[in-house]
Structures are given as structure tokens and as C-alpha cells.
Amino acid sequence: MKKAQEELMFVFSLIFLVVVLTLFFIIMSIASHDKIKNQIDSLENGEININLINYLRTPTNFNNLSISGLITYSYHTNNYDNLKVITQDFFDKFHDKEKCQTMLINVLTKDGDRVFQLISSGNTKTTKDKFALKSNSIFIPTLDADNKLKVTYVEGCTNE
Amino acid sequence: MNKKAIFMPTLAIATLFLLIYAFYVFIVKDPTTEYYGLVGSNQIAITNAYKDAENDLFYAEQAVKYSIDKTSEEFSNNGGVNQECNSQWVFDDQKCNPDLENNFNAILKKNLINYGLDLEQSKIENNIIQVKLKDKIYSNNLTNLEFKYKVKQEFKEEIALDFSNLLNIKNNLYSCTIKNKPDTCLNNFITKGSIIYFTIENHKNIFTLSQNPGFKKLEFKFNIDNENPRKRSF
């Protein structure tokens, strides 16, 4: 009888231990959810920064300029035709239009005036992908040292 | 109850107390303290420093490139000497001496300052200029992490001018004018009175804002007094 009581106590203790550990895991997961999410977002921003710099460093056939140089050239000549063609070409290389994916390049002056914008949108109706838009900005110099341009790159899915 | 039988209930109760205490410390005691975030915050601070450094380095790289092109243009327009010398080379004069590399670097330093960049060192070799800006330091002092990320800002760019050719011309003229007149040392010049004019064309395009924005090839023009190439006559 005493042996049976000990066995019962052992089993109840084991169940109690499992329940406590499970509850603790659930509570801690809920309590720390936002903090964990922040970490992931920030690391993704580092990734999009690399994509933006890769875009700006991409060489073009136009007078051996990189895309960054072409943006500056377009700004000074107020002609964005070449930039539009080359940016669209860049989008087409990396953009899977069957997926819910948006790529956007935006160029602002230091006063906040938008001088160029190009968007490439994917199929937002059929996909079940859901992920937030991620963006990053970088300043590039112009030939007149007093002015600089803010280039923003946005990547992600708008299908919420 | 024997020792073996009491072990499991004691372990369960001890675990319960330990977890309640952990929950109190990490979540209840001070909700603003990000115990979980600490690992993430440090990583984020480091990756942000790396990202800022990459962005600043990219800006500096582009600004250096534009500054070199601007410098090449200004240097060509001045004939490689001080603007006040009207492109005239005078070998024994302090202001109008064609000390080409130093004069180029002086203009470059000024142009870089306009972009908020500080030139530490520059060297021209085979028409390639090596530019070294002051190192940039990114630091952060977090609760349990202190870091300093030092970024070297060194760039190499091809100059739109044939600098090696200019140095050869200068050295030839310098040694020649010790005993002879400049017009006996070089070809391809135009003479107006006692002044002889040289024009050296270059083949690399630069993008410039002068007059109309667009690409142009630089022409390096300088002159020298055929009668008195070593002393200033103006």
C-alpha cells in the first residue's frame, strides 16, 4: 500500500513538473514575443541595405556610370529616361512577378521633393505570402556639394 | 516515505518556485528592462554600426570621385598652378611654380571639405590617385557591451588627366630651361609675343556642371615666358 502511494506521488509530481514547465514556456513566449520580433526586423533591415547598395553600385552602359552616378547625372540634367530603363531592367532581373512582391525605388532631394520613383508590383491576388514591406534609405552626393539625394529602396509584399 | 520517493515532489516544487522567481525577475520586476532584448540589442547595435559605416563609406566613395573630377577640371583650367598666375609656369617663383602633385592635392583637399570630408593623405601614381581620408569611428556604450568600430576610408580613382605626361613635360622643361629657352625643348605650341602656349588634350570624359551639365574632355592649358621662364614677369 505504501509502495503504491509512493508510485502515485511520483506520477503526480512528474505530471505537475511537465505542466509547470509547459505553462512557463507558454507565458514566457507570449511575454517576450515583441522583443523577439524586433530582432528579426532589424536583421532583415541589414539585408535590404545590402540590396540597396548593390543596386547603387550596379554598373551601366551609360558613360561607364554606376546607377548611383546615373541618378546624380539624371538629377543635374533633369532627364530620368535612362535611369527608368536601367532600374526597370534591374527589377526584371530579380523580381518574380508570380509572387506577391513589390520593389520600389524613390529619389528625394534634401528638401524632400520627389524627383524619381519606379515601382514594380507582382501578382498580389493569387499568392498567400504575407510579409511586411521593408525599406531602407541612403544619401548619395551630387556634383554640387551643398546638395545630396536620398535614395529609398522598398521591398516586400503589400497583400495583407 | 523514503528518500527516493520524496525526490520527485521536492524537485517539482523547487522547479515551480524557481520558475516563478525567474518570471518575476525577467518580466514582472522591471518590464522596461529587455532581458531578452539584451542579446538582440547588442547584435542590432553592431549591425546598425556596420550598416551606417557601409552607407557613409558609399557616400564618401562617391564624393571622392566627384571631388577628383572637379579638382581635375579646376587644375586644368588653372594650368596646374595658382589661379592668380593665369596658367603661367614660373619655375623659381613660389606661387607659380608648377609643383603639380602638391597643387592638385591642395585643390582636392578644398573640394573634399565642401563634402564634409577630411583628406589625410593622397598620392598620384600612373594617373591613379590614392586618397586616404581620416578614419571614422563608430562606437556604442550599451549596458554590457562597449564597442568601437574603426573604418579606414581609402579610395583609388583614375584621374581624367594624363598626369604622368604632365610630370614628364614639367621635368623636361625644368631641366631644359637651365641653359636653353623653352621653345627649344618642346613641340606643339603656339607663340604670342614672348609667351608660348601649350594645350594637352585628354581622352577620358568627366561629368561637369560648368556651363551646361554634361560630359566633356579636359584640356590642360598652360603657358611659359620664353624669355624669362624662371622668374615672374607679371
The number of beta carbons lying within 10 Å of the beta carbon of residue B7 is 12
The number of beta carbons lying within 10 Å of the beta carbon of residue B218 is 23
In this prediction, residue A79 carries a pLDDT of 94
In this prediction, residue A46 carries a pLDDT of 74
Q: Please judge whether B19 and A20 are an interchain contact, meaning their C-beta atoms are less than 8 angstroms apart.
A: yes
Alpha carbon A135 to its chain's center = 5
Q: Please judge whether B48 and A28 are an interchain contact, meaning their C-beta atoms are less than 8 angstroms apart.
A: no
Q: Is the predicted pLDDT of residue A158 greater than 60, yes or no?
A: no
Q: Please judge whether A42 and B11 are an interchain contact, meaning their C-beta atoms are less than 8 angstroms apart.
A: no
Q: Please judge whether B1 and A6 are an interchain contact, meaning their C-beta atoms are less than 8 angstroms apart.
A: yes
Q: Is the predicted pLDDT of residue A59 greater than 60, yes or no?
A: yes
To the nearest whole Å, the CA of A17 is away from the closest chain B CA by: 5
Interface confidence (ipTM) of the complex: 0.77
Give residues with Cβ within 8 angstroms of A81, minimum separation 6: none
Q: Of A11-20, A34-43, B64-73, B155-164, which gets the smallest average pLDDT?
A: A34-43
Q: Is the predicted pLDDT of residue A71 greater than 80, yes or no?
A: yes
In this prediction, residue B185 carries a pLDDT of 81
Q: Is the predicted pLDDT of residue A160 greater than 50, yes or no?
A: no
Q: Using 50, 70 and 90 to split pLDDT, how confident is the model at A36?
A: low
**A32 shares contact with chain B (CB less than 8 Å):** yes
In this prediction, residue A2 carries a pLDDT of 72
Alpha carbon B40 to its chain's center = 34
Angle between helices A67-77 and A81-94 (to 10 degrees): 150
Give residues with Cβ within 8 angstroms of A84, minimum separation 6: A116, A118
Q: Using 50, 70 and 90 to split pLDDT, how confident is the model at A16?
A: confident
In this prediction, residue B129 carries a pLDDT of 96
pTM of the model: 0.77
H or E element in which residue B34 lies: none
Q: How far apart are CA B104 and CA B122, in angstroms?
A: 10
Question: Is B139 in contact with B46 (CB distance < 8 Å)?
Answer: no
Q: Which residue shows C-alpha cell 532631394?
A: A109
Interval A108-133: pLDDT, tens:
998 899 999 998 876 655 555 555 67
Interval B165-190: pLDDT, tens:
999 999 998 888 888 888 888 788 88
To the nearest whole Å, the CA of B52 is away from the closest chain A CA by: 9
In this prediction, residue A139 carries a pLDDT of 95
Question: Is A136 in contact with A103 (CB distance < 8 Å)?
Answer: no
The residue ranges of chain B whose pLDDT is under 70 are: 1-4, 30-40, 233-234
Each domain of chain A, given as residue ranges in start order, spans 32-156
**What cell numbers appear for B224 in the block?**
611659359
Q: Please judge whether A46 and B47 are an interchain contact, meaning their C-beta atoms are less than 8 angstroms apart.
A: yes
Q: Please judge whether B44 and A43 are an interchain contact, meaning their C-beta atoms are less than 8 angstroms apart.
A: yes
Task: Please compute the mean of the pLDDT values over residues A84-90 and round it to a whole number.
Answer: 92
To the nearest whole Å, the CA of B131 is away from the closest chain A CA by: 17
In this prediction, residue B108 carries a pLDDT of 97
In this prediction, residue A34 carries a pLDDT of 59
Question: Residues of A numbered 34-63 whose beta carbons fall under 8 angstroms of chain B's beta carbons: which are they?
Answer: 35-36, 38-39, 42-43, 45-46, 49-50, 53, 56-57, 63
SS3 B52: helix
Question: Residues of A numbered 92-131 whose beta carbons fall under 8 angstroms of chain B's beta carbons: which are they?
Answer: none
Q: Is the predicted pLDDT of residue A15 greater than 70, yes or no?
A: yes
Mutate to test the interface with A, among B55, B107, B208 (most CBs of A within 10 A): B55
Mutate to test the interface with B, among A8, A29, A75, A76 (most CBs of B within 10 A): A76
Q: How far apart are CA B219 and CA B73, in angstroms?
A: 9
